[in-house]
Amino acid sequence: MNTVAHSSVVLDPALSSTSLPVEPMCRELADLVAARMTEEGVYETDIPGLDLFRVDAPTSCMSTVYEPSLCVIAQGRKIVQLGDREIVYGALSYMVSSVDLPVNGYVVDASPENPFLAVKINIDPAEVAELVLQLGDAAPSEPVDCPYSACGLCVAQVDLGILDAMTRLVRLLDSPTDARFLAPLIQREIIYRALVGEMGSRMREFVSADSQSHRISRVISVLKDRFAEPLRVRQLAEDVNMSESTLYHSFKQVTRMSPVQFQKKLRLHEARRLMLSEGLEAATASYRVGYESPSHFSREYSRMFGAPPRADVIKLRGETRMSVPA
């Protein structure tokens, strides 16, 4: 994998005395997750859009694509890399991904006695837009305290409202009948609390029709759906009523990478999935995701994942320890 100079953002509210009131509830959330996950991995729960994570030791760097989501770390610490940006965040903090983003990440603080524990809910941008419309001018407009305020990935200190709602949501796993009716309401409450909190201004930007961030989110949706097609930046710019230079600049602010780099990461992630899940040969996978040259695909794959396609897939299939997405 290429070595990239990363600018770093550190947010570890556990080190701040201002976080003390939320610590007991954060411990309760960690206990709830640990009780449901005796082994490390990802638990896709029976509540749609709710996932639990457990990691028992620091991990190597892993690549994945974040979908729109909100993730609370209940225990432990991790690093997420997005383009040239590096975020270190831990317990008592939460992260919001407002758009689909290819990232690298690794857990840096975890042990069998004190595992890394996290809870994630998926976010439907349409629901965010609906809540923004209902809130109107009632929502506060203070920006998140983040040096990359235009980025599609932001992190903030978790508050009691979000922690309480997330804890109630995880508790519903013990009550399937209640969960059918109450889980969607609590998930909506979590989004609401994020919107009226420190992260709200950034989340609103991505669903406000006239904003640059919303236009870039539309471009990202097109690239996600058509990543195997040739990249036509001029057409993308026309579709969202932007100049090519403005699109390029705004796209890089949101994703910390260029449209070409973004498309390449999506292609390589999908090729890896095709080889792992569907058993495709590297050459076949490369053509499927839009590459014209298998050798070019192999070089770019090696740069991103640290090994040629075949060796990487054999390694992943042979790993006894379950990999947890970044």
d(CA 67, CA 213): 16
Q: Are residues 218 and 201 in the same domain?
A: no
Q: Are residues 20 and 169 in the same domain?
A: yes
Q: For residue 171, is it within any domain?
A: yes
Span 211-220, mean pLDDT?
95
Q: Are residues 23 and 154 in the same domain?
A: yes
Q: Is the dihedral of CA 227, 301, 318, 113 positive or negative?
A: negative
Q: What is the pLDDT of residue 201?
A: 87
Q: Are residues 241 and 265 in the same domain?
A: no
Q: Are residues 248 and 172 in the same domain?
A: no
Q: For residue 325, is it within any domain?
A: no
CATH assignment of the domain containing 279: 1.10.10.60
Q: For residue 174, is it within any domain?
A: yes
Q: What is the pLDDT of residue 199?
A: 87
Range of the domain at 266: 261-318
Q: Are residues 224 and 134 in the same domain?
A: no
Q: Are residues 24 and 173 in the same domain?
A: yes
> What percentage of the chain exceeds 70 in pLDDT?
88
Angle at 167 between CA 166 and CA 171, to 5 degrees: 115
Q: Are residues 130 and 228 in the same domain?
A: no
Span 74-79, mean pLDDT?
96
Span 292-315, mean pLDDT?
95
Domain count, the chain: 3
Does residue 33 or residue 141 have the better pLDDT? 33
CATH assignment of the domain containing 185: 2.60.120.280
Q: What is the pLDDT of residue 210?
A: 84
Q: Are residues 68 and 151 in the same domain?
A: yes
Single residue among 178, 205, 232 that ends a domain in this structure: 205
Q: Are residues 92 and 180 in the same domain?
A: yes
Kindly report, residue by residue over 11-49, the tens digit of the pLDDT. 544 434 344 578 999 999 999 999 999 999 999 999 999
Q: For residue 238, is it within any domain?
A: yes
Q: What is the pLDDT of residue 317?
A: 85
Q: For residue 1, is it within any domain?
A: no
Kindly report, residue by residue over 271-284, the tens digit of the pLDDT. 999 999 999 999 99
Q: Are residues 144 and 191 in the same domain?
A: yes
Q: For residue 31, is it within any domain?
A: yes
Q: Are residues 92 and 107 in the same domain?
A: yes
* 0.85 surpassed by pTM: yes
3-state secondary structure of 184: helix
Neighbours of 5 (CB within 10 A): 6
Q: For residue 324, is it within any domain?
A: no
Q: For residue 94, is it within any domain?
A: yes
Neighbours of 321 (CB within 10 A): 11
d(CA 8, CA 246): 26
Question: Strand order of the sheet with strand 77-82?
Answer: 7-11, 85-90, 77-82, 101-109, 62-66
